Structure 1
Amino acid sequence: MLSKKYLRTALVAAAAVVAMPAMAQQNYKADSTTIKNIYNNALTSFDSYENLRYLTKQIGARLSGSPQAAAAVEWGRQVMEELDLDTVYLQEVMVPHWVRGDKEVGRIINSKLVGAIDAPIAALGGSVGTGDKGLSAEVVEVKSFEELEKLGKKNVKGKIVFFNRPFDNTHVQTMSAYSGAVDQRGGGPVAAAKLGAVGVLVRSMTNDYQDVPHTGSTRYEEGVTKIPAAAISTNAAEKLSSLLKDDPNLKFYMRMTSETLPDVLSYNVIGEIKGTERPEDIIVVGGHLDSWDLGEGAHDDGTGVVQSMEVLRLMKDLGIKPKRTVRAVLFMNEENGLRGGRKYAEIAKAKGEKHLAAIESDAGGFTPRGFSLEGSEAQLKKLQNWKPLLAPYGLHDIGHGHGGADIGPLKGQGNVALIGFRPDSQRYFDYHHTAIDTFEQVNRREMQLGAAGMASLVYLLSEYGL
């Protein structure tokens, strides 16, 4: 028996076809066949999954400036060259080179209730170290910058500031919850240092309760003392918060040997199929090649990388000749600098390139839900007009929203539509920026569905523009 949801989708699609003029119906049928072929190919091919396996298992974590990041660049170039594309090339970009050093040590000490207990921490990207002996100090807990300011220097100086604002789990979309909490990770060390703090702990950016710390980038400000900053696992954050209520004088010990080395030459990896009718109109599809150093960077963003290359493979394999140029970009340094995205936009502007649209996959390889658009109402209407073609494959959610970090610098260069691929978000922050973001956490079929959805939208954009 067919589900009511499936029947509704089928009826909407059928009604849309009936309402179309004869020529539009012909196009619909042809496009529907092409999209079905895209899905058939994607769901029966193991290419993208095996590419992900190699990237994560053979190369592994790919933090900018590392030997693994350099290996990933060469791997990406070779994979795209094997697709027999019209062009494959590397685009130079200087990237930061931060290294984590020894495994971090975190420990609650001098507690009247528990004595000393370990607390899992991970240095935030870009953080300075504590020195070999580590750092111990009393802890002051806050949930907002306003709360920190009210405490003032008198209550903060010489202490470790513990930012403990959790995700707001009333948000159905976990990306919204992440956006509501992540400012304490990015701006916490500077705000605390201005009041004389000697270190910072930030509750890990996840809606789950885990013993796994989630790293991520932080930033410093010229003229403000750089203090060590670490993420603390959510379970340890709960424990520390509970102990502080009964024992506000307890101390925390942290040891980190992280440091920032001189910038390193790296590359964006680019491959493209030239358009047959309007080659000057460029459609970008991309993900970021770098990852954090704790796990394997599978969901963040190995899946986005292999899905982007899969779009080109599907077009070549199915003999689809796009009317507009389709370009896959594997961006370098999204995680701790965004230098790849900025360099790409800078060179595009210098060349006077015309980007029709850019699609970014950087939200994990989970079940596809739709696309979000940073663009005009007219562009959104055009995308939504294609829902009868896309909805049968689960791509229902098409609306305004964030495009993506790497494609963001293209904003303002003409009337480019910035489009974010949106899979189901519920599990993403279980793995985001952690040691458990590994190949085994990626479901092959979910990832293939995402690649097929991206390829279908790219096909429609190449055929009809915006």
Structure 2
Amino acid sequence: MKRIYLLLVALLSLNVLSAQTVKDSVQLRNFYDLSLLDGQSYEWLDALSNEIGPRLSGSTGAEKAVQWAKEELEGIGLDKVWLQPVMVPKWERGAPEKAFIEGVDTKVDVPICALGGSIATKPSGITAEVIEVQGLDDLAKYGEDRIKGKIVFYNRPMQADLIQTFNAYGGCVDQRYSGAKEAAKYGAVGVIVRSMNLRMDDLPHTGAMSYGDLPNEQRIPAAAISTNGAALLSKMLKKDEKTQFYLKMNCKNYEEDVPSFNVIGEITGSEKPNEFMVVGGHLDSWDLGDGSHDDGAGVVQSMEVLRLMKAANYKPKHSIRVVLFMNEENGLRGGTEYAKVAKEEGEKHVFALESDAGGFTPRGFSFDADAANFAQVQSWIPLFKPYLIHFFELGGSGADVGPLKEEGTVLAGLRPDSQRYFDHHHASNDTFDAVNKRELELGAATMTSLVYLFDTYGVKPAIPNRQPLKK
């Protein structure tokens, strides 16, 4: 620390850096030192993942997570901590799913899992021939004559040559979300979807699906199949198009929403207490793993932002809130409710940052901002370069903070390295052992640094009738 400070002073004497830049550099270094040498995020994640575990909305795990988060935030010594009520949907997986492929002379068990929101099969399961399609557009080519009475197998993979893996995910997730709704229109009896995963393995990946306005009596069960299982099924279908698939699922949708909460903590601003900056992640997770990457990492990193500010004796000008949103995975109720209440109470939110892309090495941020604010962000890149943070781009922020978007509000998302994220996303291996302590702590310090800079320099005023700058 002393060597870095002396270097900065030397550069200042050569008129290379301004006094404010030196101050900012020292402050960022302090946040990184506190996080890496005396951080709390990894220990918090251990407790959230291993003591509480899966936290699907409406579950006992989600209830325990709410109380745990509230107690931990109170222990930091924030100015305010409270629970914000929100009604959430409830879906349960039930007993483990079962599936096998049946050919002329063979029967092979394959790993599947129900998609979140799916109905169950009948108690004995369903057996039907399979028709393989390459996504929703391909489905329409076959028509009712070839689809009716069959199980539709969506086998479009994530596009491996896209370096930004979230783009690859976005390019094929529609078959998971809307696949059952569309296949049911042609008389399909069920749907199986290739897992959203770039790796070949035996782990099926769950995720949200929707029937839209499809009547209950027309809804069909929907499951994800592992990438290895998908490859095997496709191979067997090429040999024999009469190959059959057996599927048994025991999931349940509850008709009524159930009560839950967002967890909120605040450091009240010293100069602008009525202007709010938010940092957050979603407290809920899917039920197969313990949700360490999605989004336990984002939860504890967001909590750590406020703890690091307290530990550094930094007193923000604006009111800084950590918001741990409920129900991002299968409804976005928490983010929607937080924005609704903020609007009803006339709160002015000027900046919001979300971490919901895993606990891997931080690379930078994406921003939903106008030209003036993005130019300001780009001027801060030299402050982050000592930590190998170079990715500052327009386009996207986070699902939970998205509803806060209004003219003049800057939204941002932490962008860790994404190459391994979808190996774990929504699968049973999204567990604590998959998170690297140092990478997690670097992310927390990086988030704290960005919040500090926006708090110090503020958000540039919006230009009336000017559209946000787009990528």
Shorter chain as denominator, the TM-score bin is over 0.9
1:364 aligns with 2:355: no
**What secondary structure sits across from 2:212 in the alignment?**
coil
Distance in 1 between residues matched to 2:22 and 2:16, nearest whole Å? 14
Distance in 1 between residues matched to 2:446 and 2:214, nearest whole Å? 47
Q: After the TM superposition, which segments of 4 or more aligned residues of structure 1 sit over 4 Å from their partners?
A: 17-20
Tell me the CA shift for residue 379 of structure 1: 1.3
Please give the per-residue CA displacement for 1:60-84, whole angstroms capped at 9, x wherever unaligned.
Answer: 0000000110000000000000011
1:350 aligns with 2:341: no
Tell me the CA shift for residue 354 of structure 1: 1.0
Read off the aligned partner of 2:439 and give its amino acid letter: E
Read off the aligned partner of 1:460 and give its amino acid letter: L
Distance in 2 between residues matched to 1:27 and 1:106, nearest whole Å? 63
In structure 2, the partner of 1:339 is 333
In structure 2, the partner of 1:445 is 438
Read off the aligned partner of 1:193 and give its amino acid letter: A
191, 199, 220: which one aligns with 2:182: 191
Tell me the CA shift for residue 144 of structure 1: 2.2
Tell me the CA shift for residue 415 of structure 1: 1.4
Tell me the CA shift for residue 46 of structure 1: 4.1
Tell me the CA shift for residue 222 of structure 1: 1.9
Tell me the CA shift for residue 377 of structure 1: 1.5
Distance in 2 between residues matched to 1:137 and 1:147, nearest whole Å? 20
Distance in 2 between residues matched to 1:18 and 1:432, nearest whole Å? 48
Distance in 2 between residues matched to 1:347 and 1:452, nearest whole Å? 29
Distance in 2 between residues matched to 1:200 and 1:263, nearest whole Å? 26
In structure 1, the partner of 2:261 is 267
In structure 1, the partner of 2:198 is 207
1:306 aligns with 2:300: yes
Distance in 2 between residues matched to 1:145 and 1:66, nearest whole Å? 32
In structure 1, the partner of 2:92 is 99
In structure 2, the partner of 1:420 is 413
Please give the per-residue CA displacement for 1:384-439, whole angstroms capped at 9, x wherever unaligned.
Answer: 11111112112101010210111111123x31111010000000000000111000
299, 314, 317: which one aligns with 2:311: 317
In structure 1, the partner of 2:48 is 55
Distance in 2 between residues matched to 1:146 and 1:52, nearest whole Å? 41
In structure 2, the partner of 1:293 is 287
1:44 aligns with 2:32: no
In structure 2, the partner of 1:430 is 423
**What secondary structure sits across from 2:238 in the alignment?**
helix
Please give the per-residue CA displacement for 1:81-133, whole angstroms capped at 9, x wherever unaligned.
Answer: 00110110000000011000010001101x12x51100100000000000210
1:65 aligns with 2:58: yes
Distance in 2 between residues matched to 1:302 and 1:45, nearest whole Å? 19
**What secondary structure sits across from 2:191 in the alignment?**
strand
173, 180, 187: which one aligns with 1:182: 173
In structure 1, the partner of 2:324 is 330
93, 108, 122: which one aligns with 2:101: 108
What's the TM-score, normalizing by structure 1? 0.94
**What secondary structure sits across from 1:429 in the alignment?**
helix
In structure 2, the partner of 1:402 is 396
Tell me the CA shift for residue 221 of structure 1: 2.1
In structure 2, the partner of 1:232 is 225
Tell me the CA shift for residue 246 of structure 1: 1.0
Read off the aligned partner of 1:149 and give its amino acid letter: A
In structure 2, the partner of 1:4 is none
1:157 aligns with 2:148: yes
Q: Quick one: percent identity of the two aligned structures?
A: 53
364, 384, 390: which one aligns with 1:390: 384
Please give the per-residue CA displacement for 1:347-399, whole angstroms capped at 9, x wherever unaligned.
Answer: 01111111111100000000010000012111111111111111211210101
1:34 aligns with 2:24: no
- Which runs of 5 or more structure 2 residues have no equivalent in the other structure? 1-6, 460-471
In structure 2, the partner of 1:6 is none
The two structures, once aligned, show a CA RMSD in angstroms of 1.4
Contact 2:101–2:110 (CA under 8 A) maintained in structure 1? yes
Read off the aligned partner of 2:145 and give its amino acid letter: K
Tell me the CA shift for residue 325 of structure 1: 1.0
What's the TM-score, normalizing by structure 2? 0.93
Tell me the CA shift for residue 18 of structure 1: 4.7
1:143 aligns with 2:137: no
1:124 aligns with 2:118: no
Distance in 2 between residues matched to 1:154 and 1:465, nearest whole Å? 61
Distance in 2 between residues matched to 1:331 and 1:236, nearest whole Å? 34
Contact 2:93–2:114 (CA under 8 A) maintained in structure 1? yes
